[in-house]
Amino acid sequence: MATDTPAVVELTKENFAQSLDGSPFAVVDFWAPWCGPCRAFAPVFAGAARRHPDLLFAKVNTEEQHELAAHFHIRSIPTLMIFRDNFIVFAQPGALSAGALEDVLAAAHTLDMDAVRREASAQESAATATRA
């Protein structure tokens, strides 16, 4: 399945990091062509991309991008992830309705990223301390 709209970027292991590094807010759909719920979610995702041209909307075909799917522990598709400043701030399997997707985008937009960074740093410090 090709991208549904020019506003949606196809991500591969070759362009994933560069694409996210260049975008402070990215919405990524992990999908596969044979997946019925993925096909049902595609127009919802494309519609959100059209409504939010200021955000990066991207798709990862898990059939072609096994390494990315494994890296992000994708076990079920579709899985939606939202990245803010390269932090995963939302990850959920399953197709969302248009309204639910808009709610998730709004919630991700209002996150205090300084608090997210502090929490990530605290978790990293705790993990390092338990390994020491």
Query: Catalytic pick from 8, 11, 26, 38?
Result: 38
Verify whether residue 94 is a known catalytic residue. no
Alpha-carbon distance 115 to 32, whole Å? 34
Q: Is 38 a catalytic residue?
A: yes
Measured at the CA of 44, the angle between CA 39 and CA 52, to 5 degrees, comes to 135
Handedness of CA 83, 90, 59, 42 (dihedral sign): negative
- Picking from 111, 65, 70, the residue whose alpha carbon sits closest to that of residue 88 is 111
Residue type, 38: C
At residue 24, the 3 state secondary structure works out as coil
Calpha distance 12→132 (Å, rounded):
35
Cross-strand bridge partners of residue 88: 83
- The two tokens of residue 1 are 């399945």
**Which among 11, 20, 35, 81 is annotated as catalytic?**
35
Active site members: 35, 38
